[in-house]
C-alpha cells in the first residue's frame, strides 16, 4: 500500500550480444557473479510497515506491526530498492552508467576497459585486465554476499561457448529448445528445412472461434518468441506473423507453429557466432515487403545490425500504416532502422568503441528510398507521407547515418520480411553467422 515507483531496469538482449561481440573482438575476460538474497539489500527512503509474521506475535502485542529497515521479497518496490542500492555502489567505485542502457556500467582507466551488465541479481563482468577483474569481484564480495560463478557459461537460458585460441564466441539455446520441444510433445517430430511455407498466407480466423482444439497456441508462440529474442533472428518473421493471431487461432495457425518446431528440430545445433576480425565496423541492413499482409495490405519491415557479420540486433514487424509503393514502404522502414541505429550508436559510444562523429552505415536495396532520405524537397508523390517518417532525413543531413545501396541478393534483412525458399533462407541466415558447429 501507498507506494509509487516500482520500475527497475534490466539489460537489453541487444546490449548483451553487443558486449559478447566485443569480448570476442578484443579477447576480453568475461565472468559471472550471482547476488545472494539480493532484494534483502535494498533500502527504503520512506517508512514501510508489515504485519507480524506467524510465530513472532506474542500475547498483548497483536496490534503491533514491524517497521522495515530494508526491502523484502514479495514487495513490489523491492526490485527498485535493490537496483538503487547496487547503482549507488557501482558509481561509488567510479563506474559510469550507460545512457543507452541503464543496466550497463562502464569504467575505463588508460587501456583498461571494464563493463558490468546487470540483470536483477545476475552480474556479468567484462574486462581486458584479469587483475582488475579480480579486484572488482573482491570489492563486490566485501559489500554484498556474492557467489562467484567464474567464467560465463550460462545466462538467461543461453549457453555461451568460447574458443580463446581461435578467438570465437558462440551462444545457443540447445538445452532450452530441447525442453520446449518436449513440453509441446514435438521432440520426435520430422525435421524440415524452412520455418515458414512461402505458399501459405495466414489470415484471421473467419469463424471467430478458437479452433486450436486444445493446442496451447499462445504458450507455444511465447516460448518460441523467447528463443527468437535471444539467439535466432531467423525466426523473427514467422513469430511476427503468428503473434498476430493470438486470439482465436485456427488449425492452420497451429500447423504453422508446429512447422517452426520441426524447423528447430533440424537446426537444433545452430549457434550465433562472434569472432575477432581486423575492424570494428558496425553495419545495418533494412528491407520491407510491400503489401505482404493480405488482410490489412500493410507492409512488413525487417532490419538487422551486425558487427562484422555477427548479428546483435534484429526486428520484424508489420507497419502501422499502408504504404502506396515499394519505395514508400522501404522509406518508412528506413525511419525505423534509423531509430535503432541512433540507439546502438549511443551504446557503442558509451562502451568506447565508436567515435562521437562516426557515421552509422545502413544498407538498403531501393535506390528511390535512399534518394528520398537525402532529398529535402516535397512533391506530389511524397507529400502524403506522415511527418514522423521524415525523421530519417534530418539524421542523414546531420551525418548520423548514411544509407548505401545493397543488391537484393545480398540483402540479409530479406529473411526478416517474408517466407523464402530453403536455398535462399539458409544462404541469408549463414550471413548472420548462424552456424551449426
N- to C-terminal Cα separation, the chain: 53
Q: Express as a percent the part of the chain with pLDDT over 90.
A: 51
Q: Are 244 and 218 a contacting pair, CB within 8 Å?
A: no
| pLDDT (0 to 100) of residue 377 | 53
The pLDDT tens digits of the residues spanning 243-256 come to 988 888 888 899 99
The pLDDT tens digits of the residues spanning 165-216 come to 888 899 999 999 999 999 999 999 999 999 998 888 888 877 767 667 788 9
Q: Are 363 and 369 a contacting pair, CB within 8 Å?
A: no
SS3 annotation, the chain: CCCCCCCCCCCCHHHHHHHHHHHHHHCCEEEEEEECCHHHHCECCCCCEECCCCCCCCCCCCCCCEECCECCCCCCCHHHHHHHHHHHHHHHCCCEECCCCCCEEEEEECCEEEEEEEECCEEEEEECCHHHHHHHHHHHHHHCCEEEEEECCEECCEEEEEECCCCEEEEECHHHHHHHHHHCCCCCCCCCCCCCCCCCCCCCCCCCCCCCCCCCHHHHHHHHHHHHHHCCHHHHHHHHHHHHHCCCCCHHHHHHHHHHHHHHHHCCCEEEEEECCCCCCEEEEEEEECCCCCCCCCCEEEEEEEECCEEEEEEEEECCCCCCCHHHHHHHHHHHHHHHHHHHHHHHHHCCCCCCCCCEEEEECCHHHHHHHHCCCCCCCCCCCCHHHHHHHHHHHCCCEEEEECCHHHCHHHHHCCCCCHHHHHHHHHHCCEEEC
Cell of 237: 518473421
Q: How far apart are CA 401 and CA 420, in angstroms?
A: 29
| pLDDT (0 to 100) of residue 304 | 93
| Four-point Cα dihedral 291, 294, 298, 303, nearest 10 | -70
| pLDDT (0 to 100) of residue 225 | 96
| pLDDT (0 to 100) of residue 309 | 63
Q: Are 304 and 417 a contacting pair, CB within 8 Å?
A: no
Residues of the chain with pLDDT under 70: 208, 210-211, 278-280, 308-309, 376-389, 437
| pLDDT (0 to 100) of residue 326 | 87
Cell of 251: 488449425
Q: Are 1 and 283 a contacting pair, CB within 8 Å?
A: no
For the chain, domains (ranges, CATH) are: 13-156 (no CATH), 174-266 (no CATH), 280-436 (3.30.420.10)
> Max CA-CA distance within the chain?
83
| pLDDT (0 to 100) of residue 239 | 95
| pLDDT (0 to 100) of residue 295 | 75
386 Cβ contact partners less than 8 Å away, ≥ 6 residues apart: 321
Q: How far apart are CA 339 and CA 336, in angstroms?
A: 5
The pLDDT tens digits of the residues spanning 139-175 come to 999 999 999 999 999 999 999 999 888 888 999 999 9
Q: Are 84 and 42 a contacting pair, CB within 8 Å?
A: yes
| pLDDT (0 to 100) of residue 137 | 94
Amino acid at each position: 500500500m501507498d507506494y509509487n515507483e516500482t520500475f527497475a531496469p534490466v539489460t537489453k538482449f541487444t546490449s548483451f550480444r553487443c558486449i559478447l561481440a566485443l569480448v570476442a573482438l578484443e579477447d576480453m575476460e568475461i565472468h559471472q557473479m550471482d547476488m545472494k538474497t539480493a532484494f534483502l539489500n535494498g533500502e527504503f527512503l520512506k517508512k514501510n510497515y508489515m504485519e507480524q509474521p506467524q510465530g513472532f506475535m506474542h500475547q498483548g502485542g497483536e496490534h503491533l506491526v514491524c517497521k522495515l529497515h530494508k526491502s523484502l521479497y514479495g514487495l513490489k518496490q523491492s526490485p527498485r530498492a535493490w537496483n538503487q542500492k547496487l547503482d549507488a555502489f557501482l558509481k561509488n567505485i567510479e563506474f559510469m552508467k550507460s545512457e543507452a542502457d541503464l543496466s550497463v556500467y562502464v569504467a575505463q582507466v588508460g587501456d583498461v576497459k571494464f563493463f558490468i551488465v546487470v540483470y536483477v541479481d545476475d552480474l556479468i563482468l567484462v574486462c581486458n585486465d584479469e587483475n582488475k577483474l579480480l579486484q572488482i569481484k573482491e570489492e563486490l564480495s566485501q559489500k554484498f554476499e556474492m557467489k562467484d560463478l567464474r567464467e560465463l557459461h550460462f545466462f538467461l537460458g543461453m549457453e555461451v561457448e568460447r574458443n580463446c585460441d581461435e578467438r570465437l564466441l558462440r551462444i545457443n539455446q540447445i538445452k532450452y529448445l530441447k525442453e520446449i520441444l518436449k513440453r509441446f510433445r514435438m521432440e520426435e517430430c520430422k525435421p524440415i528445412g524452412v520455418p515458414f511455407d512461402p505458399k501459405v498466407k495466414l489470415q484471421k480466423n473467419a469463424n471467430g472461434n478458437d479452433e486450436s482444439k486444445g493446442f496451447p497456441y499462445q504458450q507455444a508462440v511465447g516460448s518460441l518468441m523467447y528463443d527468437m529474442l535471444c539467439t535466432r533472428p531467423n525466426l523473427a518473421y514467422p513469430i511476427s506473423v503468428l503473434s498476430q493471431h493470438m486470439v482465436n487461432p485456427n488449425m492452420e495457425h497451429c500447423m504453422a507453429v508446429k512447422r517452426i518446431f520441426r524447423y528447430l528440430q533440424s537446426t537444433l545445433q545452430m549457434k550465433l557466432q562472434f569472432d575477432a576480425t581486423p575492424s570494428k565496423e558496425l553495419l545495418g541492413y533494412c528491407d520491407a515487403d510491400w503489401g505482404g499482409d493480405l488482410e490489412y495490405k500493410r507492409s512488413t519491415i525487417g532490419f538487422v545490425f551486425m558487427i562484422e557479420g555477427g548479428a546483435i540486433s534484429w526486428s520484424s514487424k508489420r507497419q502501422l500504416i499502408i504504404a502506396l509503393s515499394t519505395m514508400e514502404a522501404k522509406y518508412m522502414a528506413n525511419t525505423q532502422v534509423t531509430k535503432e541505429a541512433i540507439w546502438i550508436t549511443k551504446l557503442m559510444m558509451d562502451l568506447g568503441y565508436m567515435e562521437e562523429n562516426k557515421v552509422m552505415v545502413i544498407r538498403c536495396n531501393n535506390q528511390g528510398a535512399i534518394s528520398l532520405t537525402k532529398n529535402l524537397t516535397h512533391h506530389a508523390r511524397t507529400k502524403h507521407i506522415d511527418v514522423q517518417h521524415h525523421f530519417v532525413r534530418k539524421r542523414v543531413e546531420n551525418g548520423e547515418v548514411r544509407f548505401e545501396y545493397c543488391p537484393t541478393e545480398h540483402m540479409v534483412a530479406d529473411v526478416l520480411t517474408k517466407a523464402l525458399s530453403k536455398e535462399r533462407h539458409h544462404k541469408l541466415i549463414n550471413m548472420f553467422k548462424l552456424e551449426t558447429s
